[in-house]
Structure 1
Amino acid sequence: MNPPAGRSCALALPLAVTLTAALGAAPGAHAFGQAPPAAVTSGTTYYVDAVSGNDGNSGTKATAAWRTLARVNTAAPAPGDTIAFRRGRTWTGSLLLTASGTAAAPITVTAYGDTSAALPVVGGPVTDCVRVDGSYWRIGALHAAGCQWAGFEIRGSHNVLTSVRAGGNVAGVSIADTAHHNTVRSSTLADNNKMSVNTPGGWDDSGAFGILLNGDDNLVTHNLITGSRAVSYDFGHDGAAVEVFNGDRNRVEYNVSRDNETFTELGREPGRTADGNTFAFNAVTSVHPASAFLVTRGAGTGVGPVNGTRALNNSVDLPGAQAQGWVCYAGCSPGILTLRNNVIRTGGKTGYEDGTGADEDNGVYFGTQTQFQLGPQSVHADPAYVSPTDLRLTAASPAIGRGVPVGYPTDLAGNPVSAMEPDAGAYQFAP
């Protein structure tokens, strides 16, 4: 999904105090009011080994493992149970997780065996490699690859993906419109570079998503997302590290994005909303010539307006001559997009707005064009990053002390953020 040349949209909050209040309690503890992880109730562990297993086994010992996904899919794990896949093994087909755990006793998927071996792989060609219809799953140490739609398709709620991998899919992770309060953290989503729609004409091509958020109140944090880019008839290339469509109040924070076509793009279909999404403390780099950081929209397009988007303390370096920082088009206004404390360097446009413009301030911008009104505390100057791929600040950076508090206690590296004079960007200056 891409707009015309000069794309994007969102809701403005006044100044730092209002931003902090609007964001609520400082993130990093338990965003969206989710309770801390409870002690897991001990249950039964079922083992799965694609080489040495047998579906006639009990599955309750590593020496009596099941063999196939079909056997796992017909099981009925109870809250507190664990399904463990042997490392170094590969399964072709879909893993279907339909049962549900509880907040006190989630159901766990993990890996076992030689820790030096590769993660267990669930692969295509199938529509979804891993489909989670249930709720309260904890899924870790699994690799989903080569699927026709999603590596991980999340349809339930209160599920957590941790330390998973996904590649070679249309979407590394897809969180459906019925799904809410899910978390994707500490995972690697690399080269999800397939298109789901790619036809000449119609301006409707779509695909190549690291993460696709159709649901509400989800958290995407501390992930590495790379290579979300594919050839498109309509746009030349398309793809996004994190695409938001019809999803409200999602948080995308503390992620590293490398060589994606766009970091994030937001839209909605008629009668739906994609409001109140926050992007904070992300580090975004890309070598692609027409890459972009953030694209959002007003009411003058069929997939807008997208209200209340917030971009806070992001660091961006996009050296391409056609690159764009943020884009807010088709009726941009302070109600569409608020930006604070961002550091953006491009080989092209630093930003674009139309209409009454976004609510922007306390930023550092450097590029060949700036097509928006700089806020009173923003500046056009070289951010003095350590390097084009290391977006930490050097002592000469104009981003030091330029920010305002926005409610986040730590930066992308885990360093504390000053409560009085924070630095702009994803990293606080550390001599």
Structure 2
Amino acid sequence: MTSKVTLFGKKIAVAAAVILCLSATVASAATYYVDSSAGSDSNSGSSTAPWKTVTKVNSMSFYPGDQILFKRGGSWDTLLKPSSGTSASPVSYGAYGTGNKPVIRGFYASSKSYVTAQDIAFRNGSSDSPATILTSHHIALRNCDIIADTSNSTWAALYMLLNSHHNEISDCNIAHLSISRQSDAVNLRRNANYNIIRNNKIGAATHYALSLEGFDTTYPTYSCNYNLIQGNTINNPQGATMGLQSGSSNNVVEKNIIYGGKSTSYDANLPRTFKAVSQNNIIRYNILRDNTTSTSSGLGMEVYAYNTDPPNVAIGNRVYNNTITNITKYPIVIATNGDSGATAYNNYFKNNAVYNNLDSYQLWIQKNSVIYDNFFSNNLFFKTGTSSIMNVQGKYGTVADIQAADPTHFKGNLQTAPMLDSTYKPQIGSPCIDAGDFLTKVTSASGTGSVITVADDGYFSDGMGLTAGDTIMVGGYTATITAINRSTNQITLNQSVTFKTGDPVSMPYKGSKPDIGAIEYQQVVAQPLNLQFTN
């Protein structure tokens, strides 16, 4: 009995010690202040005795939960190199006072984790990227300005690379303003996986405004996978707009407005609105518009190999409910330059509205043996005053002509004016209303349960550990996806539903069927983002 009591007493003592340690850690969290004009690095860093320099901040070892606040209106010509926090208590960098955001030369996180920076302008015209996230995870930049000025000589204003994962860039204003060199505004590459780029304004750059690139010659097995690109306004008046390439696969690109473009040598005189040369991406509910430079294109799957890099391919992508308008050439194009290994197949296009682009052809698919089995269902193609708007593997004609010639790959597509308003929403009487196709169907035996098998799970996301999964409609029931088994087409839901074999499965819609285009005629309640980063 004595030994048991002693052991129990030891357990209590250990537990108490752990609680005291945790309490000490929480209690140690503090707020520090930095004032570029009235501060001093010999001060304590309190609100009444602020520090002066970023050099002082970088020299400190901060505790999880600490806050470092920079006075609005101040500026610092030193890179901010953050300290790591924990999943429960990140280290936070922000602003205090009134006026403009504090301006800091740049943010440089190398092998860091659990850091938040908010309400700061990272801006310079030097050889430093305004924001670099290198081999780091759980870094959040929110409501920041990330601007490379005209004299900046770096590749990207925001550069995320080399095994950086579970980072979030949201509500930021990002641009690379140099017009004398090739550059991106935002560049993710070399195993930048599981990141969120959300609700940003992404602007000028001579190469691409937003580019995802996995591999290159030095890192031929690297990827850029499972990223969420959501709700951004991407406008590039100086180059191409967006690209998924070099092994950027399994990403979700949704609800973005993508426009602008300029032909220069820095984008190979090909200012693409959206280059999609990768695999198994979900591209949905985007508006691609207003790229009227003479060599522009819309959504392009023009496959190729760059130098000695592995080839860029376009395989297994699901492209649905997008709106594409006022693009000069090739609103949708699938083609190859003939490079070895560059191929395009098994891409599905559904419920897209492609209309009044400047070129006669609203769809162009090159005739080539490496381009095959690309499917188009319930899309709307239209150009005012032109009937032959399709160029498909050497056959030119109307939508009806192409569907009659190849009913395996083309079905249910329309050729009529879409009747969309200035916000790209269907007007009363629009032929887009209820004219879309269901995305897939149930293949499970009829029953009730939270697990169903579908004909094609590639249209849906389980959230990738970043957000809640898609809310979908299974027959007449609505539920949220919690997991997808890609090898079996099996979807797990958050609740039981009753279903029959052959029941339609789609994203939420109103009416008898989904609409065509990026915006439903009757508003569907949007899913909450509900960030759920996993450690």
Deviations 1:69-120 (A, max 9, x none): 44444444444344444444444454444x5444433444443332776853
The whole-number CA distance in structure 1 between the counterparts of 2:49 and 2:185 is 32
The whole-number CA distance in structure 1 between the counterparts of 2:280 and 2:243 is 15
Q: Percent identity?
A: 21
Cα RMSD between the aligned structures? 3.1
Could you tell me which residue of structure 2 aligns to residue 400 of structure 1? 433
Could you tell me which residue of structure 1 aligns to residue 424 of structure 2? 391
Q: Aligned-pair distance for 1:366? A: 1.7
Change beyond 3 A, Cα 1:298–1:167:
closer
Could you tell me which residue of structure 1 aligns to residue 379 of structure 2? 363
1:80 to 52, 62, 65: 65
Report whether the alignment pairs 1:129 with 2:130. Answer: yes
Q: Aligned-pair distance for 1:275? A: 2.0
The whole-number CA distance in structure 1 between the counterparts of 2:319 and 2:242 is 15
Could you tell me which residue of structure 1 aligns to residue 286 of structure 2? 282
Report whether the alignment pairs 1:342 with 2:352. Answer: yes
The whole-number CA distance in structure 2 between the counterparts of 1:293 and 1:370 is 15
Could you tell me which residue of structure 1 aligns to residue 115 of structure 2? none
State which drifts further: 169-178 or 45-54: 45-54
Q: Give runs of aligned pairs for residues 15-414 of structure 1, distance below 5 A.
A: 43-59=29-45, 61-97=46-82, 99-114=83-98, 120-124=120-124, 125-133=126-134, 134-146=136-148, 147=152, 148-155=154-161, 156-169=164-177, 170-191=183-204, 193-194=205-206, 207-214=207-214, 215-227=224-236, 229-230=238-239, 239-260=240-261, 261-267=271-277, 274-289=278-293, 290-298=295-303, 303-320=311-328, 323-330=329-336, 333-335=344-346, 337-345=347-355, 346-348=357-359, 349-354=361-366, 355-367=371-383, 369-372=389-392, 373=402, 375-387=410-422, 390-406=423-439, 409=471
The whole-number CA distance in structure 2 between the counterparts of 1:138 and 1:123 is 17
* C-alpha contact (below 8 Å) 2:434/2:511 kept by paired residues: no
SS in structure 2 of the partner of residue 424 of structure 1:
coil
SS in structure 2 of the partner of residue 122 of structure 1:
strand
What are structure 2's unaligned runs of at least 5 residues?
1-25, 103-118, 178-182, 215-223, 262-270, 337-341, 393-401, 404-409, 440-459, 461-469, 473-506, 524-535
The whole-number CA distance in structure 1 between the counterparts of 2:57 and 2:292 is 42
Change beyond 3 A, Cα 1:106–1:310:
farther
Change beyond 3 A, Cα 1:248–1:416:
closer
The whole-number CA distance in structure 2 between the counterparts of 1:246 and 1:85 is 39
Q: Aligned-pair distance for 1:397? A: 2.1
Could you tell me which residue of structure 2 aligns to residue 421 of structure 1? 513
Could you tell me which residue of structure 1 aligns to residue 494 of structure 2? none
Change beyond 3 A, Cα 1:429–1:120:
same
* C-alpha contact (below 8 Å) 1:91/1:121 kept by paired residues: no
Q: Aligned-pair distance for 1:304? A: 2.4
Higher relative contact order (CA 8 A, sep 6+): 1
The whole-number CA distance in structure 2 between the counterparts of 1:144 and 1:173 is 10
The whole-number CA distance in structure 2 between the counterparts of 1:397 and 1:210 is 33
Deviations 1:173-229 (A, max 9, x none): 2223122211111211122x23xxxxxxxxxxxx23234353221111111111253
Could you tell me which residue of structure 1 aligns to residue 339 of structure 2? none
* C-alpha contact (below 8 Å) 1:145/1:151 kept by paired residues: yes
Please, what TM-score do these two structures have when normalized by structure 2? 0.59
What is the letter of the counterpart of residue 154 of structure 1?
Answer: M
Q: Aligned-pair distance for 1:131? A: 1.4
Change beyond 3 A, Cα 1:426–1:360:
same
Change beyond 3 A, Cα 1:360–1:52:
farther
Change beyond 3 A, Cα 1:333–1:245:
closer
Change beyond 3 A, Cα 1:397–1:216:
same
The whole-number CA distance in structure 1 between the counterparts of 2:73 and 2:89 is 28
Q: Aligned-pair distance for 1:166? A: 1.0
The whole-number CA distance in structure 1 between the counterparts of 2:343 and 2:417 is 26
Q: Aligned-pair distance for 1:145? A: 1.0
What is the letter of the counterpart of residue 121 of structure 2?
Answer: V
SS in structure 1 of the partner of residue 362 of structure 2:
strand
The whole-number CA distance in structure 1 between the counterparts of 2:254 and 2:67 is 29
Deviations 1:131-190 (A, max 9, x none): 123211222121111242222222321111121111225222222312221111121112
Alignment length (residue pairs) = 353
Change beyond 3 A, Cα 1:392–1:190:
same
* C-alpha contact (below 8 Å) 1:255/1:283 kept by paired residues: yes
Change beyond 3 A, Cα 1:380–1:159:
same
What is the letter of the counterpart of residue 383 of structure 1?
Answer: P
* C-alpha contact (below 8 Å) 1:403/1:423 kept by paired residues: yes
The whole-number CA distance in structure 2 between the counterparts of 1:108 and 1:86 is 14
Could you tell me which residue of structure 2 aligns to residue 233 of structure 1? none
